Amino acid sequence: MILPGLRSSKLENRIVVFFVVLLLFVQLAGFFAIRYAIEQSARSNLREDLNVGVRVFKRMLEQNSQQLVEATAVLTYDFGFREAVSSQDRDTILSALGNHRDRIKAAGMALINLQNVVVADTLAVDSTGKQFAFPELIAAAADMRRSSAIRMIDGTVYQIVVVPVLAPLPISWVAMSFVIDDAVASDLKRINSLDVTFIGKTGNSPAEIFATTLSPFMREQIRGFIDNLANQPEMGGTRTLAGEEFEMLSVTIDRYDNKRIFALLQRSMRDGLRPYDSLQVVLLFLAAVGLTISLFGSMRIARRISRPVSALAEAARAVAAGRHVSVSAEAMRQNDEIGELATAFDNMSRGLAERDRMRDLLGKVASPEVAEQLLRQNIELGGEERQVTVMFADIRDFTELCETLSPHDSLMLLNRYLERISGVIDHYEGVIDKYTGDGVMALFGAPIARADDPERAILAALEINRRVRELGQELAREGLPHPLVGIGINTSRVIAGNIGTASRLNYTVLGDGVNLAARFESLTKRYQVPVVVGRETREKVPGLVYRELDKVKVKGKKVAVRIFEPLGREHEIDAVALATLHTYHEAIEAYRQRRWQQAAASLAAIRDQPGYHRVCEIYLEYIRQFESAPPDQTWDGSFALYEK
Amino acid sequence: MFLPLRCASPFFVLLFACSAAQAAKINAQVSTPAGEPVTNAGVYAKLIGASVPTVPIREISIEQINKEFVPLVSIAQAGALMNLPNRDSIRHHVYSFSPAKTFEIKLYSGVPSKPVLLDKPGEVVLGCNIHDNMIAYVLVVDTPYFGKTDVKGRALLEGLPAGEYEVYLWYPGGSMAQPPQKLKLGANDSSDVKFNFASRLLPQRPATPATPPATGK
């Protein structure tokens, strides 16, 4: 049920159709129930009407006959008539009878003497001298001074009235015959609204219809069953004739010899139900009004449901597509479950948007994969102690460099560096914890810990170094400054978690190990190496070749830590370099065992090897100092680092 | 058949003459099978095999009083004159369609100038054309010996010469179905005749409440 021009959704249609069909069903059921009740009541009314009609009919026949009797009696009192009767002259009598018959508008009039012999009969002129055909009527008239009966004569039914001719004692009988024809039936119908058919039946011969108010067609219709009817004295019932229902009742109105005359009274059910037609119209009208109201009402309700749902669905599609929309205020204003749903959806959408923003941010600070994983696993970013490899990567002397560049160019330069660095960190699945001005702090092993965290950290550091050198060549070509990067890496147990307030949280790590990594980064400058890693990191990544740089005592720490420079994988290092490294490590060993001369000799031998100049210079300086002022017994071969 | 006689002799003179000459009497008693007396029945005797002595024929008079014929029942010898004096202030139209005497005296008051001659024996039923309830019965007999039963059902027939008689019973409305009773009367005999009224009685004054109760329909 879709009205043209109405925007309708499937749900809306279904709701409307459901309600309309439901109402239609209810109304149809009601309509038919009422119709049934009406019909039943009408039927019983009709039956009652018919019974009353039959009583009326009988009474009418009686009255009719009574009137005819009285009229006939009056007529026979006419003196001239009595004179004519007593004249004994048949022709005179016959003409007088004809005259009086016409006065009363009868069909026939007969004079019968006291011996039941017909004196004259206008209906049967040649019956003079014959016995009167209905002596029982005269007997009844002798008893009652009058009688009346219905008799069949030659295919016609008559009401025959017999009264005496009084002078003042009866001197003869007069039989007045009134034909019962269609006109009489119509007269009767006018009074009791029933169709009347006068039927006669003689013995077993077929019943005859003498008079009726029925149409010729209906007359033929009833002919089929009146024979049966004739065998039952009074019979009623409902019959269907030519598709029309009739309630009928038969009444015996006279019976003599082997003859029976009866009347069939009937009423069309359709006529009986006609008064209820207007009621049906009213019912249909009410049904139509109810249907219309329910149609528009259910459409309105459906729209109230489906519109917000559609809006929500659209919003959901938008959210799925990555856009964040607010559900229409109209939907949320609704003060029902739909409104609740809209509000909840809106909150969800906002939550998703928040999360997306977070993911974006996370994507900026961590590798997208990690961010994805973080989000997917819904990791609780609570505080916990865990082993993390922390990396600090810093552009060396960037602050000084900035003084020679405009702020804009400085920032451009910085970002080019950070972009390279970040890319590599992302590649090795490190998480950028923060940008520290001209550097980057990255985590490997937080928030998600993996076995190869230290290895990835070191490989990332080596890669950063390579990339920064490439960048340096690019920048050199552009005529721009191209500083180097120092990277410090340390693996240690730290506290990881969200730091800050509920509105502004920052996931980071805290602990000595973090500070140590920062120290290592700054040490790259002293040793003029790109990467410095701690002992823990080195032990966790055994597959690489390291150069031990030193054993340093950091400020505030009692224990000295050994620091190393990762050089690369074993197969990447050529034999000469390995030999040099071996010599170097022997020299340092000698130095720690206070064999200054041996150490100095070895260092001097390799000091011109590439990358060894600075470390050799540092150790040779140590040796020079210790030769003049040897360290005390507690010296563990470390160098106390007091500067940052 | 008697010739009609015009006789204006007073009633009592005739009675005297008859009783002086003849002595025989018939005491008739008419009753119903249940023994109840039947009034207004006519009893008349016919002399068989001998000529009836000529006696003056008495006139009869049937008055109309209060829209009734009085008397209701009369018996007259054939040839008698019937006077129909109207004692009411309204007019009457007296008629008879009886075969024994058919006549009509159209609306009149007072005494009609001409009495009606009852020339044939038989029952004459009188009516009034404008008062349907008025009725009178006149039995015209061809014998001078007749009587009408009183309230006890008795009728006395006097002054009968000796001889054989047939005694007839008559009742208004034409009930003459009973066969006559035969009897022989000597001079100065007094004979009792009983009639049981078996046949149906017609109401004497139909539909008039003032009349005595009908003995049947």
pLDDT in tens, A232-257: 656 677 788 778 888 888 888 888 88
Spans of chain A below 70 pLDDT: 1-9, 229-235, 324-334, 357-382, 500-505, 641-644
Q: Which CATH class is domain B56-143?
A: mainly beta
**The two three-digit tokens of residue B13, written as one number:** 């003179």
The pLDDT value recorded for residue A531 is 94
Chain A residues touching residue B174 (CB < 8 angstroms)? 169
Q: Provide the shortest C-alpha distance from residue B135 to chain A (in Å).
A: 6
B window 122-141, beta carbon within 8 A of A: 125, 127-129, 132-135
Among all residues of chain B, which has the CA nearest to that of A144? Answer: B217
Q: Do residues A486 and A521 lie in contact, with contact meaning Cβ atoms separated by under 8 Å?
A: yes
Q: Which residues contact A423 (CB under 8 A, 6 or more apart)?
A: A467
Q: What is the pLDDT of residues B102-154, one digit of tens each?
A: 999 999 999 998 999 999 999 999 999 899 889 999 999 999 999 999 989 89
Q: Name the H helices within A172-239.
A: 182-192, 216-230
Contact B129 A85 (CB under 8 A): no
The pLDDT value recorded for residue A449 is 82
Q: In this complex, how many residue pairs, one in chain A and one in chain B, have their CB atoms less than 8 Å apart?
A: 34
Q: Do residues A96 and A85 lie in contact, with contact meaning Cβ atoms separated by under 8 Å?
A: yes
B window 16-75, beta carbon within 8 A of A: none
Closest residue to A168, CB basis, from B93, B135, B217? B135
Contact B125 A85 (CB under 8 A): no
Q: Provide the shortest C-alpha distance from residue A115 to chain B (in Å).
A: 13
> Which of B97, B98, B104, B202 has the most A C-beta neighbours within 10 Å, making it the best mutation to test the interface with A?
B97
CATH number at A1-295: 3.30.450.20
Closest residue to A168, CB basis, from B93, B104, B127? B127
Query: Band of the pLDDT at B217, cuts 50, 70, 90?
Result: very low
Residue A630 preceded by cis peptide, ω within 30: no
Q: What is the DSSP string of A507-575?
A: EEEESHHHHHHHHHHHHHHHHT-SEEEEHHHHHH-TTEEEEEEEEEE-TT-SS-EEEEEEEEEGGGS-H
Contact A82 B97 (CB under 8 A): yes
- Residue ranges per structural domain of chain B: 25-47+148-197, 56-143
Q: Which fold has domain B25-47+148-197?
A: Immunoglobulin-like (2.60.40)
**The two three-digit tokens of residue B91, written as one number:** 């007019």
**Chain B within 8 Å of A82 (Cβ-Cβ)?**
yes
Q: Do residues A395 and A485 lie in contact, with contact meaning Cβ atoms separated by under 8 Å?
A: yes
Percent of chain B with pLDDT over 70: 78
Contact B97 A143 (CB under 8 A): no
CB-based burial, A531-559: b 16+ in 10 Å, e otherwise: bbbbbbbbebbeebbbbbbbbbbbeeeee
Q: Do residues A350 and A406 lie in contact, with contact meaning Cβ atoms separated by under 8 Å?
A: no
Query: Who wins on pLDDT, B214 or A59?
Result: A59
Q: Do domains B25-47+148-197 and B56-143 have the same CATH topology?
A: yes
Q: Do residues A176 and A146 lie in contact, with contact meaning Cβ atoms separated by under 8 Å?
A: no
| Res. B210: pLDDT tops 50 | no
* Range A382-640 classified under CATH 3.30.70.1230: yes
Give the residue range(s) of CATH 3.30.450.20 domains in chain A: 1-295
Count the Cβ atoms, other than its own, within 10 Å of residue A318.
14
Chain B residues touching residue A86 (CB < 8 angstroms)? 97, 102
The pLDDT value recorded for residue A367 is 53
Give the residue range(s) of CATH 3.30.70.1230 domains in chain A: 382-640
SS3 percent helix, strand, coil of chain B, rounded to 5, is 5, 45, 50
Instruction: Note whether ipTM > 0.85 here.
Output: no
Segment of A288-297, A607-616, B75-84, B201-210 carrying the highest mean pLDDT: B75-84
B window 156-185, beta carbon within 8 A of A: 173-174
Chain B residues touching residue A168 (CB < 8 angstroms)? 125, 127-128, 132-135, 206
